[in-house]
Chains A and B, each alone.
Chain A
Amino acid sequence: MKHSGVQYNSFFIEIILVILFFSVSVAVTLQLFVAANNRAQQSSDLSVAVIKAENIAEQVKSLSTADALPKALDTAKPSGSGDTPHYSIGYDKEWNETESDPRYVVDVTMNKAKSDGGTMVIADISINRLHNSSTESLYRLNSAKYLPNH
């Protein structure tokens, strides 16, 4: 009886130690999984940001007149005036356009510099992530189109 009592005691002690070491190792490996998930989320955000920026940049390169606007900015919220109008588009966490509580914001500033021969249109495209009232820059791109006068 004493022998089986000692055996049960050692079993419980072992189980307690196993659970202790297991919880410590799970705490460490969980951090690894969380870091991997964060990295994957960053990579996904960057990839989509590049696609959105490239879409607008290509449309700027295909402008035919200085007053024309890239098609992607048709639904954008305009601000600013004169030769540097500013446009903003908000996206939710699934990258769907939204006007309320956006997670991501695409800001486009269209600079138009006139010269003797024509107009140089330069679009400054920046994509930011809004997080807890702070703004983190995801990606930035410049695209230009020279439109000569005829």
Chain B
Amino acid sequence: MKRKGSIHLSVGASSILMIFVVLCLTTFGVLSYVTANADAKISTKNAEMVENYYAGSTAAEKQLQQVDSTLLAAKADAELAVENGNVDATKYDASYKSHDQIHSVVDIINGTLPKEQKCKLVYRSFSEMLLTSIPGFSIDAGTDGEPLRFTYVTDAGSGHHLETKFTVNPYGDSNRYTVTSKKLINDQTVGETSQGNLQLWQGNSAK
């Protein structure tokens, strides 16, 4: 018999409560795992991008080392060519002779300019010939009086590349080259894909 004032829980109330609590726990557990997983993916993508950028930057520095050794060789060859009066004994004579510019270089060597001026002009020509023969290097158009300007790119992964521009300093300068800019450029431009969408992540890494 029912007592006055007593609270009576019917059968099934605790089951309903249990189902509710378990549902809440499961929902919150799944939500927190999904959020943590998404955060981990973003962190991983960021880490990969940073790694690829510095790999591209390291490759760019190695290219600069190649530029410097090339300019040193061009300087030595220019001095030797002016001294000897011909390009035959130079280190890269085969490379110079394959360029059309060689005729103007020979004219300068055989000309009546002072030795210092000859070295300056021959060094400029030899630098241009050697640097343009390196794969990936392009010369920016300029007038004769301006320093030589070059551009090269290195892969920075994740759909980016690193563009480095430098100028070749005149003969006799203590700094053989000057880096004028370094830019990280996205390979993909808006409008190339259909519907004008910009793909933000291709999921590729630099090799």
Which stretch from B56-64, B96-104, B140-148, B186-194 is at the chain A interface?
A: B56-64
A contact residues around B93 at 8 Å (CB): none
Please tell me if B94 contacts chain A, counting CB pairs below 8 Å.
no
Contact B176 A117 (CB under 8 A): yes
Please tell me if A92 contacts chain B, counting CB pairs below 8 Å.
no
Q: Is the interface of A mostly helix, strand, loop or mixed?
A: helix
Q: Is the interface of B mostly helix, strand, loop or mixed?
A: helix
Please tell me if A72 contacts chain B, counting CB pairs below 8 Å.
no
Please tell me if A144 contacts chain B, counting CB pairs below 8 Å.
yes
A-B Cβ contacts below 8 A, count:
122
Which stretch from B38-46, B77-85, B109-117, B196-204 is at the chain A interface?
A: B38-46
Q: How far is the CA of A117 from the CA of B76 in the complex (A)?
A: 12
B residues contacting A by CB (< 8 A) are 1, 9, 11-12, 14-15, 17-18, 21-22, 25-26, 29-30, 32-33, 35-37, 39-40, 42-44, 46-47, 50-51, 54-55, 57-58, 61-62, 64-65, 68-69, 71-72, 174-177
- Residue pairs across A and B with Cβ atoms less than 8 A apart, 9 shown, are A7-B11, A18-B15, A21-B22, A33-B29, A36-B32, A39-B37, A139-B47, A143-B58, A150-B174
A residues contacting B by CB (< 8 A) are 4, 7, 10-11, 14-15, 17-18, 21-22, 25-26, 29-30, 32-33, 35-37, 39-40, 42-43, 46-47, 49-50, 53-54, 57, 61, 115-118, 120, 122, 139-146, 148, 150
